[in-house]
Amino acid sequence: MSAVSTEFGIAAPAIRAGYWSGVRRRLARDRVSIVCAAILLAIVLAAIFAPYLGLADPYLGSMIRRLKPIGTPGYPLGTDELGRDMLSRLIYGGRLSLLIGLTPVALAFVIGGMLGILAGYVGGLVNQCIMRTADIFYAFPSVLLAIAISGALGAGIVNSLLSLTIVFIPPILRIAESVTTSVRTLDFVDAARSSGASAFTIIRVHILGNVLGPIFVYATSLISVCMILGAGLSFLGLGTKPPEPEWGLMLNTLRTAIYINPGVAALPGAMIFIVSIAFNLLSDGLRSALDVRG
C-alpha cells in the first residue's frame, strides 16, 4: 500500500487537510449526493413545518369527494378512500414514516455500535457472548422478526419502533465488531497500549475516529430497509393505527382503491420509494467520500 502513494514523492503538500475536511470536500463535489440530500431535506422540512404550509386538514374527509384523481382543482394529488386530501396526508404522513424509518436505525447505531466496538476491542469471552447472542437474532429474517416482536408487544408506534430497533442492532453490531477488530491489530493501537492508556481512552482517541465512518455508512444504508419494514408493520396493522396518516398505513387502506384510482393508490408507495432511493444514494456517496485514503 505505501508503495503506491510514496511512489508519487510526497514531501510537503500545499493544502493541509484532515480526513474529515477531505470527506466534506469530496461530498460537496458529488452531484448525486447533493441532489439526494436536497430532496431529503425538502421532505423533512415539509414534514416538520407541515402545520404552517397552509394544507388542508388531513383528517377531514368527505364521502362525496372520495378517490378524486390527481390534478382535481383544490386537491392537487387527489383524495383518498375517505375523501381526505392526499397531498396533506402525504406530507403529514412523512412525520410518522420518517420517524419510524430513522429512529430505530439511530438507536441501533448507538447501541449496536457500542456493543460491537466493545466486543471487537475486548475480544475473548466477552466477544463470543455478544456475537453469539447477536447471531441468534440475526438468524431470523428481519421481516418475521419485526412482526414477531411487534405482535408480542402489541400494536402501536412505540412498540413498532422498539421492535425495529431490536431487528437492526445485530447487523450494525456485526459491522462494528468486524471493523474494530481490524483496526485493533494495527500498530498505532499497540503503541497507544504501550503508553499505558486505559481501554476507554484508546477507544475514544484511536478507535472511534477510524471506525465510525464505515459503521455510519452501513447504518444509513439500512434506513430505507427500516422505512419499508415500518411501512410493512403498519400495513399489517401492527404499527400506526388509523386515522393517523402514515405511508405504510395509507398503502393498506388504499389497497382496495387500486382498480378505481391506481394513481392515487400508488402515491404513498412512490413516497417510500423516493425517500429510500435518496437515502441509499446518499449512503453510497458517503461511502465513496470516506473510502479514499487520506
Partner 1 sequence: MFAAEFLEPAEDVGGPAQPLLEARRLTKHFIRGSRLFAGKRAVVRAVDDVSFSIVKGEVLSVVGESGCGKSTLARLLIGLIEPNRGEIIFDGELVREALTLRVLRRRVQMVFQDSYASLNPRITIEETIAFGPKVNGAGNATACKIARDLLAKVGLEPNDFAGRYPHELSGGQRQRVNIARALALAPRLVILDEAVSALDKSVEAQVLNLLADLREQLGLTYLFISHDLDVVSFFSDRVMVMYLGEIVEIGTAYALFQETRHPYTQALLAAMPSSDPERRTAKPPITGDPPSPIAPPSGCRFHPRCAYAEAVCSVKAPQLGPIAAGHAVACHMAQAGSGHSRAGQPLQRQSLNA
Partner 2 sequence: MLDAAGAKDAVTVLVDVRDLYVRFTGERTVYALNGVNLSVAQGEVLGLIGESGSGKSVTLRALMRLLPEHKSQLKGSIAVAGRNVLALGPKALRELRGPVVSMVFQEPMLALDPVYTIGQQIAETVVAHEGISHWAARKRAVEMLEHVRIPSARQRLDAYPHELSGGMRQRAMIALALCCRPKVLLADEPTTALDATVQIQILVLLRELQRELGMAVIFVTHNIAAAAEICDRVSVMYAGRIVETGEVSQIVKTPLHPYTGGLLACSVHKGHRKGRLQSIPGSPPRLDQIIQGCAFAPRCSHAKPACRSGEIPMVQLSDWQAARCILVSERTLPRTH
Residues near partner 1 (CB under 8 A): 1-2, 5-6, 10-13, 16-19, 128, 186-188, 190-198, 201, 205-206, 209-210, 293-294
Per DSSP, what are the bridge partners of residue 79?
85
Closest distance to partner 2 from the beta carbon of 8 (Å) = 5
* Inter-residue contact 81 to 68 (CB < 8 Å): no
* Residue 195 burial class via C-beta count within 10 angstroms: exposed 0-12, middle 13-18, buried 19 and up: exposed
* Amino acid making up residue 152: A
Q: Smallest distance from the beta carbon of 202 to partner 1, in angstroms?
A: 9
- Between 6 and 198, whose beta carbon lies closer to partner 2? 6
H runs (alpha helix) in 185-261: 187-193, 199-202, 208-235, 247-253
* Residue with Cβ nearer partner 2 (6 or 194): 6
107-124 core/surface letters (b: 16 or more CB in 10 A; e: else):
bbbebbbebbbbbbbeee
Compute the distance between CA of residue 37 and CA of residue 286 in angstroms, rounded to an integer. 11
Which of partner 1, partner 2, none is residue 294 near (CB under 5 to 8 Å by kind)? Answer: partner 1
Ramachandran class of 80: left when φ > 0, alpha when ψ lies in -120 to 50, beta otherwise: beta
By the rule CB under 8 A, 187 interacts with partner 2 = no
Q: Which of residues 7-46 bind partner 2 (CB under 8 A)?
A: 7-13
Nearer to partner 2, 11 or 136 (CB): 11
- Written as nine digits, the cell of 197 is 492508556
Distance CA 200, CA 50 (A): 43
Nearer to partner 1 (CB atom), residue 146 or residue 290: 290
Nearer to partner 2, 29 or 204 (CB): 29
Q: In angstroms, give the least distance from the CB of 134 to partner 1.
A: 17
The least CB distance from residue 13 to partner 1, in Å, is 6
Taking CB within 5 to 8 Å according to partner kind, which of partner 1, partner 2, none is near residue 132? Answer: none
CA distances from 8 to 3, 5, 13, 123, 294 (A): 9, 5, 12, 38, 14
**Span of 1-9, 50-58, 113-121, 224-232 interacting with partner 2 by CB under 8 A:** 1-9
Residue 57 site contact among partner 2, partner 1, none (CB < 5 to 8 Å, cut-off depends on kind): none
Q: Which does 7 bind (CB under 5 to 8 A by kind): partner 2, partner 1, none?
A: partner 2
Prior bond to 73 cis, omega within 30? no
Interface with partner 2 by CB under 8 A: which residues? 3, 6-13, 292
